[in-house]
Structure 1
Amino acid sequence: MSTLIDANTVISVSHLSTQFVEENSQKEPSQKEKWQKYFIQTGEGGSDEFLSMLNHTNRTLAAVFEKVQSPYSGVKPELIEKAIQSVNLDSEPSDLRHVIDRTTELVVKNSIFVQHPNCIAHLHTPPLLSSIAAEAMIAALNQSMDSWDQASSATYVEQKVIDWVCEKYQLGMCSDGVFTSGGTQSNLMGLLLARDWIADKISQHSIQKMGLPEYSNKLRIICSKKSHFTVQKSASLLGLGERSVCCVETHSNGTIDINSLEETLGELKAEGLIPFVLVGTAGTTDHGAIDDLSTLSSIAQAEGMWFHVDAAYGGALILSQDKRRLTGIEHADSLSVDFHKLFYQTVSCGAILIKDKSNFGYLRHHADYLNREDDELPNLVDKSIATTRRFDALKVFMTMQNVGAEQLGQMYDHLLIQAKQVATLIQNNDRFELLAEPSLSTVLFRSKSTTVKELDDLNKTVRLEALTRGIAVLGETIVNHNVALKLTILNPCLNMSDFESLLKQIDNLVIEQEKIRVKQ
């Protein structure tokens, strides 16, 4: 059955359709305008809101920094937690300036201020202005470093920085690398490549395709007892288990004992086990100890082992007058570098470097939508365990043009000298005991007392009181079975008077504890 529609009906329907489109086209811009204020827009005037927001943020932050008197506000942790938990994330949208202001009061003012002289616990540096400026660009551009079509110029910037740092460590013409979130990821990648390399070497076995080989329970990772805990963590993640990590004795200064290493290797091989990777450390977290990398590299080569160097802390020595202390690092098969430590970059910013770029093949996996096999433009995902990655290389790229390698090296040299001066200051004060000679920029010591016998408990209490009351952010570790306080000296702008003041404040807390315990 057919339906007949006369001309008047057609005109009427056409009119209604046109009216509907016009009405919706009038509504659409207002809805778009509502959303546009939440984003940076391209074109003239498109960044007005962005500029206003950024200026407001910067002014607010500047006002806070100008009033900072301590490394932490001293607000009780439970009060901060309660206040943050009370924020309603399902509330009606607020003006961004109000959100910035509220966040400043709640979060910013109760943060740890790494710029303060008394913030001296961890390998957690005050960032350079060049790095902070780069962060603004990184956030606004939001490049994703996995494929060229998401990070065009950024891809070349990262490769430029990688090539530059490989050259600094003299890793050779076949070297390469990729940026990481820091030492944990870099160490994981170095040990992952070593694991896959040894399986390929022994039996042409592809762990990527077939999983762990039948002899995987015999694989052993060799490191010192002072190596970073991420060696064990990586072994666990790689399916080898923490039992695969053999920790060798160290000297009193924290460096690996070569005789003990050679004995351990002999024992492992006698048991039919396979020591496949040797980990050297250029700057242990507590002592700042640097292993004899030259001897380690020779042993690794003689034993047919992969040589990985964790240089997260001490790697920046390559820019200093003391770079000879890293001799042997040029023989590393893989090398972890943390730019967010003594290259003074904002967190996060690290890299894994390898001597032979072909070993990145153990990671490569092609996805039809991302990094096709016939792509001619570079896709950095080919050499990373991460897909989406930040454009962190921009920070180093800008810093080296602004501050430069020479000044960064001078800053490091200054820290090494100052650490020894602080150690002497502690030695000459009968209220403190120096527990180790500084190797890099960490000073290990403890408070003493004539009235308190439990010195471990005293020093633990002093550190916690100093932190929660906003007096100082101090490190705590164990040295020769004693609880130690740790000063990790990273800020090149400090004077000896800053350390004299800090030690006085620490001692005041000790005196306070002495009085409390006498009453008990």
Structure 2
Amino acid sequence: MSMSGHAPPAPAPTHPLPTAGPLAADPEGIVEVGRLVGELTSEAAKALRRRNGPLPPLTPGELSHVVDAQLPEGPLPREGAGQDAVLALARAYATHTVDLADPRAAAHLQPPALGVAAAAEVLAAAFNASVDTWDSGPYAVELESRLVRALTARAGYGPRADGVLTPGGTASNLQALLIARDAALRARRDVRAAGLVGAPVQPVVYCSELAHFSVARACAVLGLGEHAVRPVPADASRRMTAEALEVALAERAADELPIAVVATAGTTDYGSVDPLPELAAVTRRHGVRLHVDAAYGGGALFSDRLRPLLAGIEVADSITLDLHKTAWQPAAASVLLVREGTDLTASTGLRVAYLNPDDDGAEGYDGLLGHSLATTRRADALKVVATFLALGQRGVGALLESCHDLARHAAEVIGANPRLELAADPVLTTVVFRYLPDEANRDRADAVNGALRRRLLRQGRALIGRTDDPAGDRATGRVRLKLTLLNPRATRDDIQELLTAVEAAGRAVETEEQP
């Protein structure tokens, strides 16, 4: 910087700078976005047609070399190469990314996105609205507010309920426990002010031993520490029981302050649903908030057949739903619902003069800043509303029912195969099982199951998940394989092909690793 405090004049560019073209939200820009998206998706489609599996048949090291070769100057080159470089990137991406539309992609709670939702996502990106203030995205603010009200009604909440869209189930659970922590500590301060208590306490959270790790992560972020989580044993059906929760709450240490019980409606591995009405009765007796993590199982709200799995969810104080799981949305589209709307803003109801001044709010010019831990938030409601306008609740529910039927069929196929062993009957759309090696390799079951999954990954032929069974031991092994079936277009033949590939890979691993 010069002594005068002004930057020196910039030197004239030695190369002509590329023009940015029309901005996305211009009338001409929207047309240009459509043209570019059309060309990008056309190139991607050509690459997809040459694929033969859900993953590229490469090891991580081999893929790293491919990417380095395709980006000789790295991802931030000094000079741009224009549209041709972008089209090449689209081809490479479609060639080497995961193809969730392939029916042999069955590893994670990561569904193929619906086309209508992806198209609406492009429109949301083009306008780049935010819902933190009314004038940052007026229509987006109205859409999210209406979507939240419709979801609270579907969950069985009353007119005082509210909610907010978040970047994912982890964020929804974090905000739910923030609300619970603050509510419990406010209540305790009120009691202390009355002179009834005075000793310091340790806030704790109770959840099933099979609850999502985001519960422990939230406790760490909130300053409680992961040690604040009190795991409650699950029964043979992988559900936290009311009896076990009652014992845990009754036997807690004198200096522990329960701030929440987290019930799970759809465990990641087994899809099991905790008994919500019974747990609610326990939490009411002990004066503890009940949060239901229905990130996975929440899609059952839209299915008449599967809705009974969520019986009792309407008595929870808060609920997490991931619409990017069982409503087939592009990530991210999670939502936190609260039975009492005032709970939502008690912890995050910030007002700042340059975003949501009080007098603007009094005149109705209020966005959703006070609902969220975030400031800038994209218009994620647009894709969700577009999907339900196109398919309706029944249409979305039918997608889950189709995947549930596939899971039940997969369980039947596994049960009929002597080289495969089912770990549990499916509740939602996940199927946990393992490959049974021959007698000579039976004591190496864990190693064989892990190796067969990696063999399928290297071949790019099939993508299946894995987990550990906490009930396993040295004799039976702990490693389990998992099908997470979220492709509603997959067929029974696809399931048979997938399980045949698992068995073939297991046999090949045994043959290769024989001494």
What letter corresponds to residue 301 of structure 1 in structure 2? R
What letter corresponds to residue 466 of structure 2 in structure 1? E
Identify which range, 102-111 or 218-227, moves more after superposition: 102-111
The equivalent of 1:368 in structure 2 is 353
**Any unmatched runs of 5+ in structure 1?**
1-26, 207-212
What letter corresponds to residue 86 of structure 2 in structure 1? I
Identify which range, 495-504 or 337-346, moves more after superposition: 495-504
3-state SS, counterpart of residue 245 of structure 2: helix
Deviations along 1:78-137, one digit per CA (max 9) or x if unpaired, are 122234346224434334421222213433211011110110011000111111111110
Separation in structure 1 between the aligned mates of residue 352 and residue 200 of structure 2, nearest angstrom = 29
3-state SS, counterpart of residue 477 of structure 1: strand
Q: Do the aligned partners of residues 215 and 400 (structure 1) sit closer, same or farther apart at CA in structure 2, a change above 3 Å counting?
A: farther
The equivalent of 1:465 in structure 2 is 455
Question: Residue 223 of structure 1 is aligned with which of 186, 207, 210?
Answer: 207
Query: Deviation at 1:355?
Result: 0.7
What letter corresponds to residue 125 of structure 1 in structure 2? P
- Counting only pairs closer than 5 Å after superposition, residues 327-406 of structure 1 correspond to structure 2 as 327-359=311-343, 360-376=345-361, 377-406=365-394
Query: Are the counterparts in 2 of residues 316 and 343 from structure 1 also a CA contact under 8 Å?
Result: yes
Larger Rg: 1
Q: Do the aligned partners of residues 215 and 466 (structure 1) sit closer, same or farther apart at CA in structure 2, a change above 3 Å counting?
A: farther
The equivalent of 2:502 in structure 1 is 506
- Counting only pairs closer than 5 Å after superposition, residues 15-414 of structure 1 correspond to structure 2 as 34-37=18-21, 39-40=23-24, 42-43=26-27, 45-85=28-68, 87=71, 88=73, 89-204=75-190, 217-268=201-252, 271-320=254-303, 321-359=305-343, 360-376=345-361, 377-414=365-402
What letter corresponds to residue 380 of structure 1 in structure 2? L
Separation in structure 1 between the aligned mates of residue 441 and residue 278 of structure 2, nearest angstrom = 45
Separation in structure 2 between the aligned mates of residue 340 and residue 104 of structure 1, nearest angstrom = 23
Q: Do the aligned partners of residues 49 and 398 (structure 1) sit closer, same or farther apart at CA in structure 2, a change above 3 Å counting?
A: closer
Identity of aligned residues (%): 30
Query: Are the counterparts in 2 of residues 188 and 234 from structure 1 also a CA contact under 8 Å?
Result: yes
Separation in structure 2 between the aligned mates of residue 498 and residue 144 of structure 1, nearest angstrom = 41
Separation in structure 1 between the aligned mates of residue 386 and residue 449 of structure 2, nearest angstrom = 41
Q: TM-score, normalised by structure 2?
A: 0.89
- Counting only pairs closer than 5 Å after superposition, residues 471-510 of structure 1 correspond to structure 2 as 471-479=461-469, 480-481=471-472, 482-510=478-506
Separation in structure 2 between the aligned mates of residue 168 and residue 133 of structure 1, nearest angstrom = 26
The equivalent of 1:426 in structure 2 is 414
Separation in structure 1 between the aligned mates of residue 104 and residue 257 of structure 2, nearest angstrom = 47
Separation in structure 2 between the aligned mates of residue 362 and residue 488 of structure 1, nearest angstrom = 36
Q: Matched residue pairs, number?
A: 482
Query: Deviation at 1:168?
Result: 0.2
What letter corresponds to residue 316 of structure 1 in structure 2? G
Matched, 1:515 2:511: yes
The equivalent of 1:446 in structure 2 is 434
Separation in structure 2 between the aligned mates of residue 48 and residue 407 of structure 1, nearest angstrom = 31
Separation in structure 1 between the aligned mates of residue 234 and residue 335 of structure 2, nearest angstrom = 27
What letter corresponds to residue 309 of structure 2 in structure 1? R
**Any unmatched runs of 5+ in structure 2?**
1-11, 473-477
Query: Are the counterparts in 2 of residues 83 and 106 from structure 1 also a CA contact under 8 Å?
Result: no
Separation in structure 1 between the aligned mates of residue 451 and residue 200 of structure 2, nearest angstrom = 45
Q: TM-score, normalised by structure 1?
A: 0.89
